[in-house]
Amino acid sequence: MSDRQGFRIELDPTPAQRARLGRHAGLSRVVENFCLEKVRAALDQREAEKTYGVDEKDLTPVPWSAPALERAWRAEHWRRFPWFTADGLSSRIPKEACRVRAAAFKNFFDSRAGRRKGRKVGFPAWRKRKHGSRFRYDADRARPAGQRAVKLPGIGTVRTREAMTWLTDRLDDERARVIGATIREIAGRWWISFQVEIDRTDVNARRTVAADAPACGIDVGVKTFATIVDDDGTEPIVSSGTWPGAAGDRIPAGACWKYGQERSQSDVRGEGLRPPAVEAGNVTGSGGRRAGRGSRIGVPVETPGADGRH
């Protein structure tokens, strides 16, 4: 199983589980900032020691690696962050947060030395809540618990909004294995992304095209959706169609604006509204008369009499 790919699905947590997800995301953010704090403190200490004439080999070491950052976290979290153990949060989150921060330091040095492709990467900055809520599990700590649930350490079994048959079938017959998982909040919705090592032999076999298979060229346009040229020279054309309907009726100028105005007013009143009828270029009510001040577009309104009754 040499191929790696991701599998993302939306979670359906209960209110209590949603709160636990938020606490774990906050823990990850705290640990990443703790790692950055220790590195900055070590760098400042080294600069101060240089002014004292301390030899280079005797300077304070900087905890660039993930193991060094993990040791620093284990040595201090019980004193500085007692809520970590009190709340029963997963111990796998700090481990992965240290790895994420160590990878960021490595990317910075590789980018500065020209060993990393792509745009230049700056020195890691402080993580804030506005940067988003996310955290990671290593290996298969987080894994499917059936077709419509996942088991997350420190949180419990969380339902998913869709079935994971594609993934669970491959895990059951050992065609795939989970090597990591990332949980992220996007617009108030929680998602889990599994990093999977998978055997794609069956998938690649279905998608392989024979060398002597027929071929065609496709030219995508605007007025004509697509012009297809087969290998035998025929040119089938796919039309774009006409908006808004098959009859090609055009909505008169100003109708959409009037409809929007009337719709916003009806929403305020808590009433429904039917779309306007288009007849011979005029916006009319359902009774066939032109819409005026006494009627909403598409919905005639009766004017009450003097006694207040319709």
Which uninterrupted H or E stretch holds 68? helix 66-80
pLDDT score, position 254: 62
pLDDT for residue 297 is more than 60 = no
pLDDT for residue 215 is more than 80 = yes
Residue 64 phi, psi dihedral angles, 5° rounding: -75, -30
Lowest mean pLDDT among 94-103, 154-163, 225-234: 225-234
Q: Which of 191-195, 272-276, 281-285 has the highest mean pLDDT?
A: 191-195
Contact 283, 277 (CB under 8 A): yes
> Which residue has better confidence, 269 or 18?
18
CA-only gyration radius of the chain, Å: 31
Strand partners, 230: 216
> Which residue has better confidence, 98 or 219?
98
Q: Which of 48-57, 209-218, 275-284 has the highest mean pLDDT?
A: 48-57
User: Average pLDDT for residues 113-123, to the nearest whole number?
Assistant: 93
| Distant-in-sequence, close-in-space partners of 271: CB < 8 Å, separation ≥ 6 | none
> Which residue has better confidence, 4 or 266?
4
pLDDT for residue 288 is more than 60 = no
Q: How far is CA 18 from CA 10, 85, 159, 230, in A?
A: 13, 19, 12, 54
Say if strands 224-230 and 143-144 run parallel, antiparallel, or are unpaired: unpaired
pLDDT in tens, 236-258: 777 766 554 445 555 566 666 66
